[in-house]
């Protein structure tokens, strides 16, 4: 299977339009060693021709322009994207859908009932798309048993599980978390048997996760924050990383520690917030990740399993 990182940044991207944190300011001025990153999305293919898009970032048009395999020319209107999987209903993972409204063929969208509810009520993107291309919604079960396939996505099979988190601010059940508000997905190549775990939003290693992570040849997980109080320390937010569903990399029980049992897998952090020091390629924090065998995703990164 081929995995292509379309956007490795968290909400806001890097640099963020209104942010003057040391990273964003330093990137604009060219005084730090770091790469720009668009907002959170990957695409996956089992045959190199037909691709499944995971999340639809506000930067999707730029991301498609920069990755020609998503634009094959088999018909007057055509795309290499055969299906879209949404892992939550957050702005950075869904608003790009409005940019994919053209055409007579319905968008094929896989998401949980909870995400579908948010995207037809609090943030009714799917209703709006109904006035353009239209949408075929395919529900994702989160029992960890039911697998699903996507017609046209050769050799790929998916298993989703619910992850503990909160629904977005505009969700009708914002303060009442439900299974399926956020999912993690095990992506399997049925031809090679290789597996990739993908969860750009992961607040906690819950007991149902290790059996899935153990199977993975590549673990792509939440790389949002380095410390639990990163946003508080910079005066940018009053909430901790964990409280908004993002396990920080450092500290006791942090992501570096949590990933250490998984020896066979390639470990890659994705959905990296612009405040995170790991974005600086010569930072001590980046060196610490490297010592733990953990990579930092960047836009355009290709992983072949
Ligand atoms: C998150 O990952 O916590 C959200 O997507 C933040 C946002 O984009 O507003
Ligand atoms: Mn996000
Ligand atoms: Zn910033």
Question: 46-56, pLDDT tens digit by residue?
Answer: 999 999 999 99
**Cβ-contact 84, 105 below 8 angstroms:** no
Confidence band of 144 (pLDDT split at 50, 70, 90): confident
pLDDT of residue 169: 96
Mind spelling out the 3-state secondary structure of the chain? CEEEEEECECCCCECCCCCCCHHHHHHHHCCCCCCCECECEEEEECCCCCEEEECCCCCHHHHHHCCHHHCCCCCCCCCCEEEEECCCCCHHHHHHHHHHCCCCCCEEEEECHHHHHHCCCCCCHHHHHCCCCCEEEEECCCEEEEEECCCCCCCEEEEEEECCCCCCCCCCCCCCCCCCCCEEEEEEECCCCCEEEEECCCCCCCCCCHHHHHHCCEEEEECCCCCCCHHHHCCCCCCCCHHHCCCCCCCCCCHHHHHCCCCCCEEEEECECCCCHHHCCCCHHHHHHHHCCEEECCCCCEEEC
- Ligand 1 atom 6 nearest Cα: 11
Ligand nearest to the CA of 231: 3
Is the shortest distance between the CB of 95 and ligand 1 below 6 Å?
A: no
Ligand nearest to the CA of 276: 3
Is the shortest distance between the CB of 92 and ligand 1 below 6 Å?
A: yes
Q: What is the CATH number of the domain that holds 126?
A: 3.60.15.10
Parent domain of 158? 2-304
- Ligand 1 atom 7 nearest Cα: 11
Sign of CA dihedral 159, 164, 167, 168: negative
pLDDT of residue 168: 96
Ligand nearest to the CA of 11: 1
Is the shortest distance between the CB of 237 and ligand 1 below 6 Å?
A: no
- Ligand 1 atom 8 nearest Cα: 11
Summarised one tens digit per residue, pLDDT across range 68-117 is: 999 988 999 999 999 999 999 999 999 999 999 999 999 999 999 999 99
Percent of the chain with pLDDT over 90: 98
Residue whose CB lies within 8 A of the most ligand 1 atoms, among 9, 11, 115, 244, for a mutation test: 11
Summarised one tens digit per residue, pLDDT across range 154-209 is: 999 999 999 998 899 999 999 999 999 999 999 999 999 999 999 999 999 999 99
Structure pTM? 0.97
Summarised one tens digit per residue, pLDDT across range 205-222 is: 999 999 999 999 999 999
| For the CA of 224, the nearest atom of ligand 1 | 2
Summarised one tens digit per residue, pLDDT across range 237-267 is: 999 999 999 999 999 999 999 999 999 999 9
CA distance 168 to 248: 20
Burial letters for 117-145: b for 16+ Cβ neighbours within 10 Å, e otherwise? bbbbebbebbeebeebeebebbebbbebe
Domains contained in the chain, number: 1
């Amino acid at each position: 299977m081929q995995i292509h990182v379309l956007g490795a940044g968290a909400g806001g991207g890097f640099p963020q339009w209104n942010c003057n944190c040391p990273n964003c300011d330093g990137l604009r001025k060219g005084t730090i060693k770091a790469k720009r990153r668009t907002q959170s999305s990957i695409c996956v293919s089992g045959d190199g021709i037909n691709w499944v898009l995971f999340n639809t970032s506000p930067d999707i048009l730029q991301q498609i322009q920069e990755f020609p395999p998503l634009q094959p020319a088999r018909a007057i209107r055509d795309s290499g994207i055969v299906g879209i999987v949404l892992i939550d209903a957050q702005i950075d993972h869904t608003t790009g859908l409005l940019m994919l409204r053209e055409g007579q063929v319905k968008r094929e969208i896989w998401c949980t009932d909870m995400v579908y509810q948010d995207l037809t009520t609090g943030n009714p993107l799917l209703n709006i798309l109904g006035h353009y291309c239209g949408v075929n919604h395919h529900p994702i079960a989160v029992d960890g048993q039911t697998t699903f396939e996507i017609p046209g996505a050769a050799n790929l099979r998916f298993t989703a599980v619910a992850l503990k988190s909160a629904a977005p601010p505009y969700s009708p059940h914002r303060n009442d978390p439900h299974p399926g508000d956020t999912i993690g997905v095990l992506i399997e190549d049925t031809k090679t048997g290789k597996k990739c775990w993908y969860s750009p939003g992961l607040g906690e290693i819950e007991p149902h996760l290790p059996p899935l992570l153990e199977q993975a040849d590549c673990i792509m997980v939440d790389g949002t924050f380095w410390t639990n109080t990163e946003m508080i320390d910079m005066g940018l937010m009053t909430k901790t990383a964990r409280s908004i569903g993002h396990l920080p990399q450092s500290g006791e029980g942090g992501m570096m520690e949590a990933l250490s049992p998984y020896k066979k897998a390639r470990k890659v952090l994705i959905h990296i917030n612009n405040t995170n020091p790991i974005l600086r390629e010569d930072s001590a924090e980046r060196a610490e990740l490297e010592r733990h065998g953990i990579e930092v995703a960047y836009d355009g990164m290709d992983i072949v399993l």
